C-alpha cells in the first residue's frame, strides 16, 4: 500500500491510500469529520472509476463505514485531511477471511501497533487491547476475542477484536467483531461499551458460536452493567444482540459491578454462567443456569458460588471455571475456579490486582473447595480465561496489570503465552502449551554462561532453560534492559522476579514464597518476561516497560547449583 498527497483539479490536497484489491473485497473504514461544518468523506476509485463513497458528520469519534468493491483493479482511497480523519482501513474477502485474515491498508500513527521485530506474543494489529474474551475452538479453529479500542493505544469505549489460530501461537487477524452500542460508538469519552465475556458453540450440527458479554454504560440508571448474548453463524459477523440479564440479583447488597459472563457446561449438562461482583465485604462470584439447550434465554440465579473477603472490598472479575482431571460429568472431577480481584493488595508483598485459582469439586450448584493458590506470582497475567480443548484445559491472559494503566499515556500490550492447566502432586500447574518448541529457531552459544559470563541475546526474544543440581539451589539471573532493573532469583525465601523502574516508588515484591523448583524455563520477549518453574507449578509473568528486548543475561550461582543451561532464539 502507499499513502501520498495528490492535487485534484480543484487544487484540494488529497491524501490517498493505494492497493490492488480483488473483486468482491469488503472494506471496513473508520472515519471522522475534522469539524462539524463539512462532512468527513472517503472515496474509493478502482482503475480511475468511482467505486464508492462513505461520509460522516461526527467530529467526536470515528464511525464505522462499509464498502464493497465489485471490480478487481488498482484501488485508490482518497480524502481531504482538512475535513476528514481516517483511523483504520482494511480489506478482506468474506469467503476466505478465516484463512487469509484482513489486509491492513491504513492506520494512523496514534493507533499503530509498535514494531516488535521477532516478537512472538499475540498483539492486536492496531489500537488498545486488554482482557481475552470468548477463547475457544469453533469450526475447527482456535478463536481469540479481546477487549479492544481501535483508535488509540489507550483504553476507551470497548469493542471486541478477533483472531484465529491453528496452534495457539501463530494468529490471523480478523475484522473487528463486536462494536459498542450505537449510542456509545458515537462518543469517545470512555463511558463503556462491549465489556468482557465468553463464547460457546451453537448446538447440534449448527455452525457458528454464541457470545455473552457485559454492556457497560457509565451513570446509566438503574444498572450500569447488564448482560447480552448474540450469535455468529459464519464465525466472522455477529447478529444483533439480545438482553438476557437486565439487573443484578436483589437483596444481596451488591455494588454496581456485575460483569464478565463466563458460560460453560456443568456436571448436570446444563449451561452455567458465572458473573463477577462485590459487596461491602469482598469479591463475589454469582452462579446462574438455564435449561435452554441453546443458552439463549431462561437464565435463573442460583446463588453465590464463591466469595473472597481477605482483601477488603475488591471486585471479583473475569471468572472462569474448567474441569481439570476428568470429564465434567464425573462427580470426582476437580474443577478450577479462577478469577481476578480488582484493587486487591497483598499486604506482605505490595502486589496489586491478584488472580486466584481455587480448586475443588462442583456439582452444578455448589463448589466445595479443597485448596487454593495464586495463579501467577508476577500478577501480570490478568483476566485469565480458559476452556477445555481436545487435549485438556487451556487458558490465556492479558499480559499487564491495571496498576500500570493511565488514560494519559499510550500503552500497547500483549497476551501471555497460552497455558495448559492440570493437577500435579496436589497443585495446579500452568505450563505453556505443547508445541511452544516450534518457536525455537536456533540455539545460542551459551559458552561461559554457567561460569558467570555475560551472554548477548540479539533482539531479546529467547527461551532460557536452567536445570538445578538439587531442588531449591540458589541462583540469580540478571537481565540487561534499558527501562528497568530486572532479574530472576531463587534463594531461601523462594522464587522471585526482582523488578524496579528508576524514579518510581518502591516496586512490589514479586515472589512465590517458599518455592523450591528443580527446573526453570524463562521466556523473554520485547515487553515481557514469563517464568515457568517445575513445569508451571510456579508461574510468574511481568510486563517490562517499552518495547526494547532484554539485551544480555548474566548468571550468578554457587558451583554446581546449575548443572545445565540452554538459550534458544525464538520467533514466529
Please write the tens of the pLDDT for every residue from 428-481. Answer: 999 999 999 999 999 998 778 998 999 999 889 999 999 999 999 999 999 999
| C-beta of residue 55 within 8 angstroms of C-beta of residue 40 | yes
* Cell numbers that stand for 513 in this block: 514464597
Put simply, whether the predicted model's pTM sits higher than 0.85 gets the answer yes
Distances (CA, A) of 250 to 246, 254, 301, 496, 526: 12, 8, 10, 43, 47
Q: What is the pLDDT of residue 507?
A: 84
Helix (H) or strand (E) holding 70: none
Please write the tens of the pLDDT for every residue from 432-441: 999 999 999 9
Spatial distance between the Cα atoms of 215 and 91, rounded to a whole number of angstroms? 28
> For position 224, what pLDDT does the model report?
96
Peptide bond before residue 222 is cis, with ω within 30 degrees of 0: yes
pLDDT number for residue 349? 95
Instruction: List the CATH code of the domain at 15-93.
Output: 2.60.120.260
Cβ neighbors of 44 (< 8 A, separation 6 or more) are: 27, 50, 51, 52, 53, 67, 69, 75, 76, 77
User: Are the C-beta atoms of 547 and 485 separated by less than 8 Å?
Assistant: no
Asked whether this chain's domains 15-93 and 130-429 adopt the same fold, the reply is no
Q: Look at residues 300, 124, 129, 132 and name the one whose alpha carbon lies nearest to residue 227.
A: 300
Closest CA to 18 of 40, 53, 44, 52: 44
Q: Which fold has domain 438-570?
A: Jelly Rolls (2.60.120)
For 291-346, list the strands marked E by DSSP.
Answer: 300-308, 315-323, 334-342
Give the torsion sign (CA, 454, 460, 462, 463).
positive
- For domain 130-429, give the CATH superfamily: Glycosyl hydrolase domain; family 43 (2.115.10.20)
For residues 308 and 293, give the distance between their C-alpha atoms in angstroms, rounded to a whole number.
31
pLDDT for the residue numbered 11: 57
**In the prediction, which pLDDT does 505 show?**
76
Q: Which residues, in sequence order, are CB contacts of 512 under 8 Å at separation 6+?
A: 374, 377, 494, 495, 496, 533, 538, 540
Residue ranges in the chain whose pLDDT is less than 50: 1-9
Sign of CA dihedral 453, 457, 460, 463: negative
Q: Where are the domains of the chain?
A: 15-93, 130-429, 438-570
CB 121, CB 381: distance < 8 Å: no
Q: How far is CA 377 from CA 356, 419, 480, 495, 531, in A?
A: 10, 15, 22, 9, 10
Helices (H), 122-198: 182-185
Amino acid at each position: 500500500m502507499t499513502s501520498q498527497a495528490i492535487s485534484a483539479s480543484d487544487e484540494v490536497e488529497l491524501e490517498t491510500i493505494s492497493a490492488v484489491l480483488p473483486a468482491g473485497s469488503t472494506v471496513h473504514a473508520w472515519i471522522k469529520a475534522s469539524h462539524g461544518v463539512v462532512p468527513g468523506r472517503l472515496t474509493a476509485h478502482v482503475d480511475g472509476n468511482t467505486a464508492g463513497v462513505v461520509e460522516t458528520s461526527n467530529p467526536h469519534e470515528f464511525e464505522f463505514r462499509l464498502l464493497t468493491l465489485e471490480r478487481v483493479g488498482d484501488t485508490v482511497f482518497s480524502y481531504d485531511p482538512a475535513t476528514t480523519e481516517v483511523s483504520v482501513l482494511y480489506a478482506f474477502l468474506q469467503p476466505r477471511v478465516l484463512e487469509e485474515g484482513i489486509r491492513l491498508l491504513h492506520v494512523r500513527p496514534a493507533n499503530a501497533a509498535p514494531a516488535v521485530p521477532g516478537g512472538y506474543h499475540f498483539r492486536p494489529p492496531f489500537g488498545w487491547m486488554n482482557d481475552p474474551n470468548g477463547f475457544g475452538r469453533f469450526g475447527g479453529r482456535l478463536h481469540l476475542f479481546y477487549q479492544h479500542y481501535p483508535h488509540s493505544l489507550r483504553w476507551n469505549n470497548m469493542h471486541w477484536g478477533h483472531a484465529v489460530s491453528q496452534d495457539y501461537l501463530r494468529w490471523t487477524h480478523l475484522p473487528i467483531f463486536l462494536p459498542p452500542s450505537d449510542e456509545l460508538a458515537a462518543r469517545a469519552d470512555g463511558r463503556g461499551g462491549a465489556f468482557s465475556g465468553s463464547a460457546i458453540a451453537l448446538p447440534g450440527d449448527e455452525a457458528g458460536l454464541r457470545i455473552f458479554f457485559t454492556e457497560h454504560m457509565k451513570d446509566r440508571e438503574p444498572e450500569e452493567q447488564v448482560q447480552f448474548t448474540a450469535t455468529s453463524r459464519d464465525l466472522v459477523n455477529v447478529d444483533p444482540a439480545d438482553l438476557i440479564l437486565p439487573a443484578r440479583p436483589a437483596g444481596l447488597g451488591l455494588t454496581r459491578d456485575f460483569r464478565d459472563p463466563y458460560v460453560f457446561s456443568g456436571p448436570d449438562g446444563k449451561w452455567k454462567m458465572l458473573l463477577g461482583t462485590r459487596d461491602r465485604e469482598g469479591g463475589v462470584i454469582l452462579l446462574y443456569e438455564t435449561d435452554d439447550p441453546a443458552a439463549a434465554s431462561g437464565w435463573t440465579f442460583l446463588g453465590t458460588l464463591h466469595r473472597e473477603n481477605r482483601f477488603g472490598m475488591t471486585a471479583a472479575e473475569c471468572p472462569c471455571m474448567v474441569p481439570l482431571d476428568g470429564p465434567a460429568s464425573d462427580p470426582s472431577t476437580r474443577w478450577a475456579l479462577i478469577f481476578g480481584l480488582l484493587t486487591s493488595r497483598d499486604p506482605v508483598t505490595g502486589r496489586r490486582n491478584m488472580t486466584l485459582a481455587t480448586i475443588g469439586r462442583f456439582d452444578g450448584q455448589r463448589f466445595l473447595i479443597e485448596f487454593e493458590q495464586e495463579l501467577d506470582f508476577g500478577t501480570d497475567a490478568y483476566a485469565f480465561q480458559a476452556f477445555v480443548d481436545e487435549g485438556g484445559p487451556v487458558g490465556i491472559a492479558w499480559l499487564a496489570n491495571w496498576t500500570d494503566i493511565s488514560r494519559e499515556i499510550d500503552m500497547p500490550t500483549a497476551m501471555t503465552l497460552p497455558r495448559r492447566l492440570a493437577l500435579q502432586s496436589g497443585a495446579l500447574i500452568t505450563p505453556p502449551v505443547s508445541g511452544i518448541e516450534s518457536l525455537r529457531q536456533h540455539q545460542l552459544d551459551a559458552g561461559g554462561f554457567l561460569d558467570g559470563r555475560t551472554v548477548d541475546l540479539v533482539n531479546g526474544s529467547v527461551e532460557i532453560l536452567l536445570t538445578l543440581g538439587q531442588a531449591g539451589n540458589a541462583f540469580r539471573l540478571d537481565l540487561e534492559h534499558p527501562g528497568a532493573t530486572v532479574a530472576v532469583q531463587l534463594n531461601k525465601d523462594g522464587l522471585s522476579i526482582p523488578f524496579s523502574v528508576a524514579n518510581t516508588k518502591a516496586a512490589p515484591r514479586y515472589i512465590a514464597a517458599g518455592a523450591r523448583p528443580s527446573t526453570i524455563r524463562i521466556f523473554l520477549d520485547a515487553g515481557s518476561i514469563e517464568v515457568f518453574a517445575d513445569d508451571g507449578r510456579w508461574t510468574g509473568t511481568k510486563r517490562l516497560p517499552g518495547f526494547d528486548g532484554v539485551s544480555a543475561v548474566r548468571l550468578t550461582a554457587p558451583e554446581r547449583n546449575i548443572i545445565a543451561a540452554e538459550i534458544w532464539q525464538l520467533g514466529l
